[in-house]
Amino acid sequence: MILSEILYKISLQAVSGKTDIEINKIVFDSRQVEKGSLFVAIGGTQVDGHQFIGKAIDLGASAILCEHLPETLNEAITYIQVENSARAMGFAAANFYQHPSKKLKLVGVTGTNGKTSIATLLFRLFRRLGYRCGLLSTVQNQIDDDIIPSTHTTPDSVKINELLADMYQKGVTYCFMEVSSHSVVQERIAGLHFVGGIFTNITHDHLDFHGTFDNYLKAKKGFFDQLPASAFALVNTDDKNGKIMLQNTAARKETYSLKNIGTFKGKVLACSLFGLQMEIDNKEVWFKLIGSFNAYNLLGVYGAAVLLGEDSDEVLMQLSDIQPPAGRFEQVVSKNNIVGIVDYAHTPDALKNVLETIVDLREGNQQIITVVGCGGNRDATKRPIMAEIACKMSDKVILTSDNPRNEEPLDILAEMQKGVPAIHFKKTQTIEDRHEAILAAVKMAKPEDIILVAGKGHETYQEIKGIKHHFDDKEVLKEAFGD
């Protein structure tokens, strides 16, 4: 595409060089540059992309999109200066791929917990309702039956537009995507056209990246602030910050609640290890998801589907038959009835919700044994809190490694240990190796006991010092059960 078309409607501060040149690729990593690329220099969290402009030119970049121009300009190259290059890249990517988000119906889901659950349920529901669908999620990206591995919860803006363009070409009507707070701040969703946005909840996470809870809140709100008037903004108002999402949005304001207020109301009637019974719009329905926190996810999905024009009875009928995504309250039961539960709870609130559900469901003298760790190079302030929650709500706890990434596993564990109240020392142990920790939990379990393995859910790897080793909590549980 011609550069001037890629720059259409983008506010430019300065241009040096020709804009009637052909561009065949937009890249923001110099290592991906090929002949004819537009290289976008972005100030990152580790390095400033502007320092790679020279390297990008050496590798064949024809044009540079940046926030400040290099001291010496190469006359053969076009330089475009903008205020925010990440944001400009979002709009450039939308132009380059010819606005796929406007050609299909894109729905975004944001919140600390529940994004994957809601986006995946919507994807599965709308496929059952007869539509071709796309999904952009933490677990995987998907176009109908085709699974495309995902590297982020929300991909970068070029990747999103490339995937949406592919979806449009394959006849997709609806795409459901997760909108992480990182993606809002880093402008990965700039230039996208949404028909709806959903807010789940906001609790403690990602303070390493956002600095303060207030900034985290602003990031989530930023998604709703950029929705157009034609979209709906569907918000869980039982979350005390829910209404804040609606403060400055141009979108139609809609709400859901389990407290009998708002557009969509629901009530939990019963919850067991087999499912959840709810009343929605005066209809009683059983769902295959477990835990009252999932009642919020189901109600959000129901609300969104109705707002998108689907028949409410049909929606409930189909939704009642849908399985939760992988690694969300997934059960592996041994032959002698030890109940293993693998769950992606990696925030204090998620861990508390899952354990509350397990405590409510436990019968007689069933013990709860929790195996949990916290990821490295991520918010360290949640470590002692998660350890404390695990200890207070379980009979036995094994603190272990999650994805240590570039941190020392024992340093992470030392921070978790700080949260263990003295009265719980006796029931808590630390086993650095996650495989060993799961085996130990199974060894100490009696028939009927419940083992919660929290934090990694669907993940099939453990990231240690830049290398992803194969690791699957479900697989290890099965191995430990030895059935």
Ligand X SMILES: CC(=O)N[C@H]1[C@@H](OP(=O)(O)OP(=O)(O)OC[C@H]2O[C@@H](n3ccc(=O)[nH]c3=O)[C@H](O)[C@@H]2O)O[C@H](CO)[C@@H](O)[C@@H]1O[C@H](C)C(=O)N[C@@H](C)C(=O)N[C@H](CCC(=O)O)C(=O)O
Ligand Y SMILES: N[C@H](CCC[C@H](N)C(=O)O)C(=O)O
Pick from ligand Y, ligand X, ligand ATP, none: which does 97 bind, CB < 5 to 8 A by kind?
A: none
Closest to ligand Y by CB, 315 vs 374, is: 374
φ and ψ of 129, to 5 deg: -80, 0
Contacts of 141 (CB under 8 A, 6+ apart): 134, 135, 147, 148, 149, 150, 155, 163
Distance of alpha carbon 206 from alpha carbon 45, whole angstroms? 14
Please tell me whether residue 203 binds ligand X under the rule CB under 6 A: no
Please tell me whether residue 221 binds ligand Y under the rule CB under 6 A: no
Cα dihedral 72/74/77/83 (nearest 10): 0
Q: How far is the CB of 201 from ligand ATP (least distance, A)?
A: 5
Q: Which of 37, 85, 95, 116 binds ligand ATP (CB under 6 A)?
A: 116
What H or E segment, with its residue span, contains residue 230? none
Closest to ligand Y by CB, 150 vs 255, is: 150
Please tell me whether residue 324 binds ligand Y under the rule CB under 6 A: no
Closest to ligand Y by CB, 111 vs 455, is: 455
Distance of alpha carbon 97 from alpha carbon 473, whole angstroms? 39
Block residue for tokens 């320092």: 51
Closest to ligand ATP by CB, 105 vs 458, is: 458
Question: Strands, DSSP E only, in 348-449?
Answer: 368-372, 396-399, 428-430
Q: Is 430 within any annotated ligand binding site?
A: no
Minimal CA–CA distance to 415: which of 450, 451, 376, 441?
376
Distance of alpha carbon 142 from alpha carbon 170, whole angstroms? 12
Q: Candidates 116-124, 184-192, 234-242, 361-369 — which segment interacts with Mg ion by CB under 5 A?
A: 116-124
Is 69:16 a contact under the CB 8 Å cutoff? yes
Distance of alpha carbon 128 from alpha carbon 325, whole angstroms? 16
Pick from ligand Y, ligand X, ligand ATP, none: which does 455 bind, CB < 5 to 8 A by kind?
A: ligand Y
Please tell me whether residue 44 binds ligand X under the rule CB under 6 A: yes
Pick from ligand Y, ligand ATP, Mg ion, none: which does 456 bind, CB < 5 to 8 A by kind?
A: ligand Y
CB count within 10 Å of CB 249 equals: 21
Q: How far is the CB of 149 from ligand X (least distance, A)?
A: 13
- Helix, strand, coil abundance in the chain, percent, nearest 5: 35, 25, 40
Site string for Mg ion, 126-165 (x = CB under 5 A): ------------x--------------x------------
* Positions that interact with ligand X (CB under 6 A): 28-31, 42, 44-47, 49, 52, 152-154, 156, 180-183, 209
Binding site for meso-2,6-diaminopimelate, by residue number, is 378, 402-405, 455, 459
* Positions that interact with ligand ATP (CB under 6 A): 111, 113-117, 138, 153, 178, 200-201, 293, 296-297, 328, 343-345, 349-350, 353-354, 457
